[in-house]
Amino acid sequence: MYQIVSKKSLNPTVTQMEILAPFVAKKARAGQFVILRVDERGERIPLTVAGYDRERGTVTIIFQVVGGTTERLNHKNEGDFIPDFVGPLGRPTQVDGLKKVCVVGGGVGCAIALPVARALHENGVDVTSIVGFRNKDLVILEEDFKAYSDDFYMMTDDGSYGRKGNVCVPLEELLEKGERFDEVITIGPLIMMKFVCLSTKKYGVKTIASMNPIMIDGTGMCGCCRLTVGGEMKFACVDGPEFDGHLIDFDEAMSRSRSYAEFETRQREHACNLFKKEVE
């Protein structure tokens, strides 16, 4: 059993938890993920390692409440336990040999982008961070990003905070001015990553996209997380989750990601009704 040692709401739909998992914390690196179950009859869901403390033996996860399982997880509190917390899984972000990198995060994907920015910064890399949200109320981890960034850009779709526009606006401005990045690393909604990759491709800048498709076992056996990368089938859980963004078939990935949207909505509504009855 794995204890929840802290819980914090980052915005109305996003929650941060710190889980006591010493063996996972000992090996975890930026870019990797865990698979957990909220209860013994629950489904397995992947969540990115948003941080870790090797001395305390804790792993930080950040999740958005979008389906039944995340709804159930969000009803857990400090001191509660979850039965399964497996990891770290996936390949870690490669930071060696890089001197200047732009990290582009969107929405809850910023929870994945932050440990990447931190790992780069701690490895002596010059980090430019560009983060985007729909509006001011959804902004998360701003001060954390500033702490690990040499340059920082905040964007909101409606202009309620930072600059108005999407993350591609400052990215293209920088590239147009001649800024040279060894890599651009993008993490967020698929549509955002697609257009980030289209922007960087025009300038010939290597771009890495972190993919988070439907996943079950995390070992490459179920095949649910398959992607087409450079015309070849890849599994995000064992071959990724990071891939060359210029080779990913984003349209296929977006189509697959919508497969269970209706099911997730029904499951979340069912979970909400269950908790409501328990309270009554």
Q: What is the pTM (predicted TM-score) of this model?
A: 0.85
Lowest mean pLDDT among 151-155, 212-216, 238-242: 212-216
If pLDDT is split at 50, 70 and 90, which confidence band does 67 have? confident
Domain 2-89: CATH class, spelled out? mainly beta
> If you average pLDDT over every residue of the chain, what do you get?
89
Where in the chain is CATH 2.40.30.10? 2-89
Q: What is the CATH number of domain 100-210?
A: 3.40.50.80
On the question of pLDDT at 76 being above 70, the answer is yes
All CATH 3.40.50.80 domain ranges of the chain, comma separated, are: 100-210
pLDDT digits (tens, 9 = 90+) for 165-202: 999 999 999 999 999 999 999 999 999 999 999 999 99
19 close to 89: Cβ distance less than 8 angstroms = no
C-alpha–C-alpha distance, residues 146 and 110, integer Å: 12
